[in-house]
Amino acid sequence: MFLEQQFYHNSVKEWLIALVIVVLSFFVLKIIFTLIRRKIKKLAKKTKTDLDDLVADLLERIKFFFILIIALYFGSLILTLPQTVNKLITSIVIIVLLLQGAIWGNGIITYFIERYKKKRIQEDAAGVTTFSALGFVARIVLWSLILLVILDNLGVNITTLVAGLGIGGIAIALAVQNILSDLFASLSIVLDKPFVLGDFIIVDNHLGSVEHIGLKTTRIRSLSGEQLVFSNTDLLNSRIRNFKRMAERRVVFSIGVVYQTPEDKLKLIPQMIKEIIESQELTRFDRAHFKEFGNFSLNFEVVYWMASPDYNLYMDTQQRINLQIFHKFNEENIEFAYPSQTIFMEKSE
C-alpha cells in the first residue's frame, strides 16, 4: 500500500501527518497571535498605561520565519529522524528563538527611548540625547550577545573567536578609521554635550536647529527649511556657536548724524539714547559714546543687554528703540547722516 511505503525511515502516512501538523500549526499560531494583538490594541485604546501598547508592538514584531520554524518543529516531532537531523532541527529552532528574542529586545529598547524622548524632549534635551546614545549601546550589546550565543550553539569555540577578533579588530579599525572617528565624535557630542537636540547653533556660515545626532552625521534644519548634514568629526573640528544656551544677548548698534549737528545737540545724544533704552522691558543699558568722525557722519556707538536670548523679542525691542530714536531726533532737529559729498569750489582771479 502506498501510504505504508517507507521514505527516510518514515512511512508516507507519517510524512503526510507531519505536513498537516505543520500547516495547521502555522495557521493556528498565526491566528492566535493576530487575535491577541487585536484584543490588546482595543484594550490599549481604553487604558492610559503604555505597557499594553508595548505588548501589541512586540506581537507585531513576530516574524514569518519564527512561526514557520515553530510549525516545522511541531511537525518533526512525530517523525523518526536521525540524531544528527534532530540535533540540526533543535539548533535551528534555538537560533530562530534567539533572533526573535533579539527583535523583541530591540523593540523594547526602542519603546523606552521613544517614550523618554516624548516626555522629556522639551525640558531635558541633553538627557534625551544621552538616553538615545545609551539605547544604541544597548542594541550593540544585545545583538553581540545573541550572535555569540548563536555561534556557541553552532559549535564555534567562542574563546578562540574572541581572541581572533582582538587581533583582527586592529586591522579592521585601521580600515574604517574614518567611520570610527565619526563614531567617537558622536559619543563625544553625546557625553560632552556641546549641543543637544533642539539647540540653535551656527557652524561656520551655516545655522539652524539640531534635528538629529547620529553615529556618523548630525542633521540641522536651517532657517530656510533645508536639512544640513555634517560629519560628526568635521562638526567637532569647527567653531560652534550655541545660541540656545545664551543667557543674555549683547546688542551693539551705531548711529550717524550729519557734521552740521551743533555741539550741544551732540552732547545730548548719549543721554537721550540711554533714557530710551532704559524705558524698554528686559533691557540693561551699558554705554553710548560719540565714537568717531566718519567719512560723512559723526558716529555714535551704543551697547545694551537683553535679559532674554529670544531673537524675536530682541528684534521687537530694537524696533521700538529705533522708532523712539527717530522720533526724538525729529523733535530735537537732529539729522541722520547718509552717504554724501560736499564739493568746495574756489574761483581763481
Rank 25-39, 40-54, 144-158 by mean pLDDT and report only the highest. Answer: 25-39
Segment 171-225, tens digit of pLDDT = 554 445 566 677 777 777 777 778 888 888 888 888 899 888 877 788 999 888 8
Whether residues 236 and 264 share a domain: the answer is no
**13 found inside a domain:** yes
**341 found inside a domain:** no
The percent helix, strand, coil of the chain (3-state, each to 5) is 60, 15, 25
Average pLDDT over residues 331-348: 80
Whether residues 14 and 108 share a domain: the answer is yes
N- to C-terminal Cα separation, the chain: 142
**336 found inside a domain:** no
DSSP codes, 113-156: HHHHHHHHTTT-HHHHHHHHHHHHHHHHHHHHHHHHHHHHHTT-
Contact 128, 116 (CB under 8 A): yes
Average pLDDT over residues 124-144: 70
| Residue 52 reports pLDDT greater than 90 | no
pLDDT of amino acid 77: 78
Q: What is the pTM of this model?
A: 0.48
Whether residues 9 and 70 share a domain: the answer is yes
Q: Which residue has the higher pLDDT, 296 or 150?
A: 296
Could you tell me the CATH number of the domain that includes residue 310?
3.30.70.100
Exposed e or buried b per residue across 61-85, where buried means at least 16 C-beta atoms within 10 angstroms of its C-beta: ebeeebbbbbbbbbbbeebeeeeee
Exposed e or buried b per residue across 241-257, where buried means at least 16 C-beta atoms within 10 angstroms of its C-beta: eeeeeeeebebeeebbb
**346 found inside a domain:** no
Whether residues 191 and 302 share a domain: the answer is no
Could you tell me the CATH number of the domain that includes residue 211?
2.30.30.60
Whether residues 231 and 274 share a domain: the answer is no
Q: How far is CA 115 from CA 33, 50, 132, 213, in A?
A: 25, 9, 11, 18
Q: Which range has the worst mean pLDDT, 45-54, 124-133, 289-298, 311-320?
A: 124-133
pLDDT of amino acid 271: 94
Whether residues 56 and 183 share a domain: the answer is no
| Residue 291 reports pLDDT greater than 60 | yes
Segment 1-11, tens digit of pLDDT = 565 666 666 67
* Secondary structure element (H or E) that encloses residue 248, with its range: none
Cell 536670548 found at: 309
**339 found inside a domain:** no
- pLDDT-derived band at 126 (thresholds 50, 70, 90) equals low
The range of the structural domain enclosing residue 21 comes to 2-155
Whether residues 101 and 228 share a domain: the answer is no
Q: Is 165 helix (H, G, I), strand (E, B) or coil?
A: helix
What is the domain count for the chain? Answer: 3
